[in-house]
Amino acid sequence: MRILDKYIVKELAGPFIFGICAFSSIFIGTDVLFKMARFMTEQGAAFSTVAKLFVYRLPSIIVLTFPMSMLLASLLTFSRLSGNSEIVAMKTGGVSFSRLITPVIIVSLCVSILAMVFNELVVPAANLAYTDTVREEIQKDGSPGKTQDNLLVREGGAQTERITFARRLNGETKTMQGIDIQEFDEGRLARIISAEQAAWDGKNWELSNGIIYEIDANGNLEHTLRFQKQSSNIRKNPTEVSKEQKKPEEMTIEELKLRIKVLDRENEPTNDLKVKLHERITFPLASLIFTLIGAPLGLQSHRASSSIGLGQSIIIIFVYYAIMMISDALGANGTIPPALGAWTPNIIMILCGFFLIHRASR
């Protein structure tokens, strides 16, 4: 059986690599190149800057192509095996279809794990570098934005020292409104500072009209202190505070969790972030799920060419994304739980895959 497994995996490798190249080319040709061209023609960006932006954009494109490529690879592989009557020969030899797709499922599971790791360690950093490069080298704007809402600033190394939440930052007046500061002592919440406003005086953030809550070692309120004016320990200036605000696609899973936790505590809406958090798991798993559809579907496409397989894959992917967009919107606006919004496309595709496998196994 090991020989058979190696044979199927070998047959799978070519279409998978072809899929990554083909789908990446589609994304690059329909989106990335146009943006790069506009940066050069409309904003006078240097070629070296555009080249950097292209490299920074590649990781997010490549990780998108993993599920698509697994779908195409499994479809084309089993289509070729079926067209050459190899599937019939294997079944005659007592090998069931479920056994035939086992190595493909193992490979797709490995691809899913790789996508999760890549999506956590590489993609957020690349997306952040892309945003910073656009702002600093093309827009040439190092100042904080005019206004930003729901800001979160974390200070400290491996162990958090301080988390600052502000409902709004005004870049022109260099003030923040609705301040909540949590200060930690060796991982323990030691102090909470709430203030109506913080103003940057050129060196420090000056808090106004606030209250300090001292927390004891048992997590109980020890005492409170009201103040009219108080210098804060926030070490970052307005520009640094503004730059630290990341889009969801620029955050790691832990950063997303922290932002959700803080916003929940401030009674701010977090459904959209919760959907995106679950999608850090659901989208990479699509590589495994698409295999459950592509393999049995390939049996019905005898001798399908790469172009036909690519077309079939695009249709399935379009349906998946259509479902994902609808369910994401329902999860983000609270119509359904955020977790269900993120998992709905995968659940539907899993059911379709099991149905196709059951039919192919008869």
| Residue pLDDT, tens place only, 10-53 | 999 999 999 999 999 999 988 888 888 888 888 888 889 999 99
CB atoms within 10 A of CB 149: 12
Q: Where are the alpha helices (DSSP H) in 200-337?
A: 238-244, 253-265, 271-298, 306-332
The pLDDT confidence band at residue 86, using thresholds 50, 70 and 90, is confident
The pLDDT confidence band at residue 172, using thresholds 50, 70 and 90, is confident
State what percent of residues in the chain have pLDDT above 90.
Answer: 51
Report how far residue 207's alpha carbon sits from residue 119's, in angstroms, rounded to the nearest whole number: 38
Does pLDDT of 299 surpass 80?
A: no
The pTM for the full model equals: 0.85
Report how far residue 229's alpha carbon sits from residue 207's, in angstroms, rounded to the nearest whole number: 6
Among residues 55, 20, 61, 63, which one has the least CA distance to residue 36?
Answer: 55
The pLDDT confidence band at residue 225, using thresholds 50, 70 and 90, is very high
Give the pLDDT confidence score for residue 347 in this predicted structure.
Answer: 96
Report how far residue 312's alpha carbon sits from residue 297's, in angstroms, rounded to the nearest whole number: 10
Which of the two residues, 45 and 286, has the higher pLDDT score? 286
Structure tokens at 211: 């209250």
Q: On the CB side of 127, how many CA atoms lie within 13 Å of its CA?
A: 19
CB 309 within 8 A of CB 301: yes
pLDDT by residue (tens digit) across 318-362? 999 999 999 999 999 999 999 999 999 999 999 999 998 888 777
When pLDDT is averaged across residues 292-299 and rounded to a whole number, the result is 86
Angle at 303 between CA 287 and CA 20, to 5 degrees: 30
φ, ψ for residue 148, nearest 5 deg: -135, 140
Among residues 304, 306, 298, which one has the least CA distance to residue 19?
Answer: 306
Among residues 260, 275, 273, 280, which one has the least CA distance to residue 119?
Answer: 280
When pLDDT is averaged across residues 197-212 and rounded to a whole number, the result is 92
In angstroms and rounded to an integer, the radius of gyration of the C-alpha atoms of the chain is 26
CB 328 within 8 A of CB 341: yes
Does pLDDT of 301 surpass 60?
A: no
Give the pLDDT confidence score for residue 323 in this predicted structure.
Answer: 95
When pLDDT is averaged across residues 111-133 and rounded to a whole number, the result is 94
Give the pLDDT confidence score for residue 24 in this predicted structure.
Answer: 93
Give the pLDDT confidence score for residue 145 in this predicted structure.
Answer: 60
Give the pLDDT confidence score for residue 195 in this predicted structure.
Answer: 94
List the beta strands (DSSP E) in the chain. 147-156, 160-170, 175-185, 188-200, 205-215, 221-231
State what percent of residues in the chain have pLDDT above 70.
Answer: 95
Give the pLDDT confidence score for residue 302 in this predicted structure.
Answer: 54
Buried b (16+ CB within 10 A) or exposed e, 71-97: bbbbbbbbbbbbeeebbeebeeeeeeb
Q: Using DSSP, state whether 9 is helix, strand or coil.
A: helix
Report how far residue 277's alpha carbon sits from residue 75's, in angstroms, rounded to the nearest whole number: 30
pLDDT by residue (tens digit) across 173-185? 899 999 999 999 8
What single DSSP character describes residue 335? Answer: S
Does pLDDT of 144 surpass 70?
A: no
Report how far residue 351's alpha carbon sits from residue 49's, in angstroms, rounded to the nearest whole number: 46
What single DSSP character describes residue 28? Answer: I
When pLDDT is averaged across residues 286-296 and rounded to a whole number, the result is 92
When pLDDT is averaged across residues 196-225 and rounded to a whole number, the result is 90
Mean pLDDT score across all residues of the chain? 88
